[in-house]
Structure 1
Amino acid sequence: MNRRKFLKGSSVLAGLFTLSPSVILSNDLGAINKKGKKAKNIIFLISDGMSTGTLQMANLYSQNILGKNGNWMNLYKENKVSRALMDTASASSAVTDSAAASSSFGGGHRVKNGVLNIGPNGEKYLPIWQKFKNAGKKAGCVTTVTITHATPAGFCVNSDSRNAENEIAEMYANLGLDVMMGGGDEFFNPSKRADKKDVYKIYEQKGYQVLKQKSDLENIKKGEKTLGVFNSGALPYTIDRNNIEALQQTPTLAEMSAAAIDQMKDHKNGFVLMIEGGKVDWAAHANDIAALIHDQLAFDEAVKTAIDFAEKDKETLVIITTDHGNANPGLIYGADATKNFNSIADYKYTNEYILNAIHADFNLQQVKDWIKETNKISLTDDEAKHLLNFYSGLEKQEDGLYNYKKLPFKAYSEIQKKHNNVGWISMDHSGDYVELAMFGPGSELLKPFVQNIDLHYLMLQASIEKED
């Protein structure tokens, strides 16, 4: 190593760390007036609700079934990234929800579960995408859930409730965010809103192009502000989208990510973009291994999209992580563990799709035939009867987040476990330390162990102009 260059670089870093808190925490990045930006752009990727077992099993599936290592794991294998563990707690609990977790990244303060960048006494912490907008950068978010959901909202707005999605849809327009893509038609469409307000029209009056299906991405007007709402509710799970023709008009996370980068990459002051694999979390809540693996793999393709751009651009910091664990799934020891795990390749659809197709008037053979067709699992009569009892009212209906139709997710995952060796500790968030990786300028600032709030200040620090 060139000793002179090393010492020069060390002095630069030392200078950064001596900046006063008032400068680091400034809402106006222009107040830090030095030369030579470390990172012109930032791409922040979040696989929502990704426990370590999710990452491991998706990579194992990729190796065993697809014949290749995952993109995230290749970054580790090729030693291309800085890597850390991250503590994900909120202000109110060791186990965070997505609103508080995203607020830690967005506002730089731990807040109570359920709120977005609002402190205990009503303090409003300016979200980081607003800080970067104030500094002249373009800003955007893409997600596989509603664009107004907790994770994208935590980077952008202040709200007393993560559930205020009608209001959040309007807030984005008022902030002038440059690219917002995901689901959530019900929060923009006047025919679906209780107040009948046409929020799409608000965006159009502010100069936004509105995209509503995958084909619209092919005709996107370069450089214009863009709102893409591709579904009512969240976007479909990846495995269902891949196998059900009617769902294929919705774009993938990687396709939305590529379009968002292309829309903002030529801006002279750079851009910031949050990319969320939101349905990974929903799959974990449902203990649905096929949904989980395929949405994690879809997220991994978005990782490749970001890294490919950053490797060419050389001015982009890429952050890859999750906001919290969920359900701690894992492959369980057994003589046939690998063979059983590989049988997941036979699963055609999500458990949501499979279980939603069963009705109380099914007989045992119909249940057995349907499970055989969709999962290649041969149920016993007792297992088929156990499932059918949830539909006839003989078993208590399951609750659970995002289980709107009270489907027997837990009961079915226990049946699947006998065949695929995948177990789950719960159907809810967990307090894991989680994986965190960074690539590009500013990644050298990452310490081996951080709190979620540290990423807020690292992003600011990575983009600070500094003297050579």
Structure 2
Amino acid sequence: MALIAATGGDDEEAAAAAGPRNVIVLIGDGMGYAQIDAASLYRDGTTFGQVTVEPGAEQVERSPAQASTVYQNFPVAASVATYPRGGGYDPQAVWDSFPAVTEGFTDSAAAATALATGERTDNGRLGTDTRGDALPNLTEHAAAQGRATGVVTSVPFSHATPAGFVVHRDDRGDYHAIAHEMIHDSDIDVVMGAGDPARDADGRPLPEPDHTYLAAEDHAALLAGETPFTLVNSRDGFRDLATATETPRRVLGLAPVAATLQYERSGPDRTADGKPVAGALPYAAPANEEVPTLPEMAEAALNVLGNASEEGLFLMVEGGAIDWAGHANDLNRLIEEQTAFDDTVAAVTQWVERESSWDETLVVVTADHETGYLNGEGADPGWRPLTGEKGGLPAVSWHSTDHTGSLVPLYARGAGAERLAAAATGSDPVRGAYLDNVDIPRTVLSLWGRD
């Protein structure tokens, strides 16, 4: 069963009563329980309490829990239901029928809106309700209280998850309008991600720019210094930001690469048409060395935001390409992306303990949805745990190339974390206590006195 425990300690309880000064939300896009375990098995040969379930069975077999990540040791753990407006989660039905979670699932836009605003919306919408009216988000609430705000991602900065915390648009695919709103019509202080029109998937200069994610005029304005942001466009620039005593007030960090920091790079684990090579191990392809890592970007964002306001900060960090690997059923690069996300949580934890404290900072780790219906070998109609050994590919099975309605994990630590535990009032026969995704921002807003 999922663990729910109070954070404990008089100091943390007192801080929670005043509300967390800093809130950092880390979202693994497409990250379910099995995605975490796949990376853990490859890195350490361990899993975290996986389950074997037969449909209709009264008992659940559970393997021993062995934490492989920093966040699996956080004192609050629960599950999260992720459905969009008009949907729902039936905790009995999803374990009685293996395919039950493959219908009615959320997309990343509706999920990001739910996690950013506390309100459900239709798939495809970013920060708007069904009438197209704007829904105030956490970054806007934080800015209204004087906090510095930012979003960081390993995929294009105009993609659904970061956009859902900044803009109000009815079409997640209108990347030019999304990027323009983020750059010119928002109060966000830090935006960091991929999507450089001038670079390919390996970070090499393109003969002609590809403006899929950022319009030519806005790219030109960034390069010319004609926006409210200081542009950072090199790995050294990100690294310098992470340690600088003085930093720009507002920064747009455009990683010098096309759509993803590492996921789409070329290499021997890819066929000529870019498909995964079966059996290839993680890191078979040399990394894009001139591209910042997700931990480096998160550290840079935290330093800029920490310097920008004495009132605290709100930061969302997304491991966006876990989802891309899930859609492709691409195991070796899923492990890479999950590991990068895990390393980012570790970097954020170190920042809290070095620059802040758990008495004044709340860290939440969760996902917007699961992607790929990843399970152990031989699953369907029963659920099987992943198995494997350190340094090898785990034995898995995929059952979708899309999102699912599976519960996803939540881990939290710091000021007010026990309030998230209290919000987990749902009961799942396998995962235990769960909350809805909208309960996460609602809890943060309550902690900030914004009921």
TM-score normalised to the size of structure 2? 0.71
Deviation at 1:179, TM superposition (A): 1.4
Instruction: Pick which of 190-199 and 254-263 moved more.
Output: 190-199
- Contact 1:71–1:300 (CA<8 Å) still a contact in 2? no
Tell me if 1:223 matches 2:233. Answer: no
For residues 113-149 of structure 1, the C-alpha deviation after alignment (integer angstroms, 9 at most, x for no partner) is: 0111221222221122122112211111111100110
Aligned residue in 1 for 2:447: 462
Match of 2:364, SS state, is strand
Q: In structure 2, how many angstroms separate the alpha carbons of the residues matched to 1:152 and 1:131?
A: 16
Deviation at 1:330, TM superposition (A): 2.2
After the TM superposition, which residues 131-146 of structure 1 pair with which residues of structure 2 at under 5 Å, given as runs? 131-146=141-156
Change (3 A) 1:177 1:75: closer
| Structure with the larger RCO, 1 or 2 (CA within 8 Å, 6+ apart) | 2
Q: Aligned letter for 2:319?
A: G
Tell me if 1:60 matches 2:41. Answer: yes
After the TM superposition, which residues 178-197 of structure 1 pair with which residues of structure 2 at under 5 Å, given as runs? 178-186=189-197, 191-193=209-211, 196-197=216-217
Aligned residue in 1 for 2:340: 298
Q: Aligned letter for 1:58?
A: A
Aligned residue in 2 for 1:274: 316
After the TM superposition, which residues 231-242 of structure 1 pair with which residues of structure 2 at under 5 Å, given as runs? 231-237=257-263
Instruction: Pick which of 231-240 and 39-48 moved more.
Output: 231-240
CA RMSD of aligned residues (A): 3.3
Change (3 A) 1:437 1:340: closer
Deviation at 1:182, TM superposition (A): 0.9
Aligned residue in 1 for 2:289: 248
- Contact 2:13–2:416 (CA<8 Å) still a contact in 1? no
Aligned residue in 2 for 1:356: none
- 1:48 pairs with 21, 26, 29, which one? 29
Aligned residue in 2 for 1:430: 404
Q: In structure 2, how many angstroms separate the alpha carbons of the residues matched to 1:202 and 1:215?
A: 18
Q: In structure 1, how many angstroms separate the alpha carbons of the residues matched to 2:217 and 2:264?
A: 31
Deviation at 1:290, TM superposition (A): 0.5
- Contact 1:441–1:462 (CA<8 Å) still a contact in 2? no
After the TM superposition, which residues 89-168 of structure 1 pair with which residues of structure 2 at under 5 Å, given as runs? 89-93=83-87, 94-168=104-178
Matched pairs, number: 358
Change (3 A) 1:193 1:76: closer
Deviation at 1:53, TM superposition (A): 0.9
Quick check: which one's strand share is greater? 2
Identity of aligned residues (%): 29
Change (3 A) 1:339 1:46: closer
- Contact 2:26–2:316 (CA<8 Å) still a contact in 1? yes
Deviation at 1:39, TM superposition (A): 0.6
Aligned residue in 2 for 1:364: none
- Contact 1:116–1:154 (CA<8 Å) still a contact in 2? yes
Instruction: Pick which of 97-106 and 224-233 moved more.
Output: 224-233
Change (3 A) 1:196 1:251: closer
For residues 2-52 of structure 1, the C-alpha deviation after alignment (integer angstroms, 9 at most, x for no partner) is: xxx98x969x98xxxxxxxxxxxxxxxxxxxxxx73211111000100121
Instruction: Pick which of 53-62 and 237-246 moved more.
Output: 237-246
Match of 1:282, SS state, is helix
Q: In structure 1, how many angstroms separate the alpha carbons of the residues matched to 2:410 and 2:239?
A: 33
- Contact 1:48–1:276 (CA<8 Å) still a contact in 2? yes
Q: In structure 2, how many angstroms separate the alpha carbons of the residues matched to 1:187 and 1:90?
A: 35
For residues 309-359 of structure 1, the C-alpha deviation after alignment (integer angstroms, 9 at most, x for no partner) is: 22341211000000001112123269xx9998348x467xxxxxxxxxxxx
Tell me if 1:327 matches 2:372. Answer: yes
Q: In structure 2, how many angstroms separate the alpha carbons of the residues matched to 1:135 and 1:338?
A: 45
TM-score normalised to the size of structure 1? 0.69
- Contact 1:182–1:229 (CA<8 Å) still a contact in 2? yes
Q: In structure 2, how many angstroms separate the alpha carbons of the residues matched to 1:173 and 1:296?
A: 29
Quick check: which one's helix share is greater? 1
Deviation at 1:83, TM superposition (A): 1.3
Q: In structure 2, how many angstroms separate the alpha carbons of the residues matched to 1:426 and 1:151?
A: 21
Change (3 A) 1:235 1:43: same
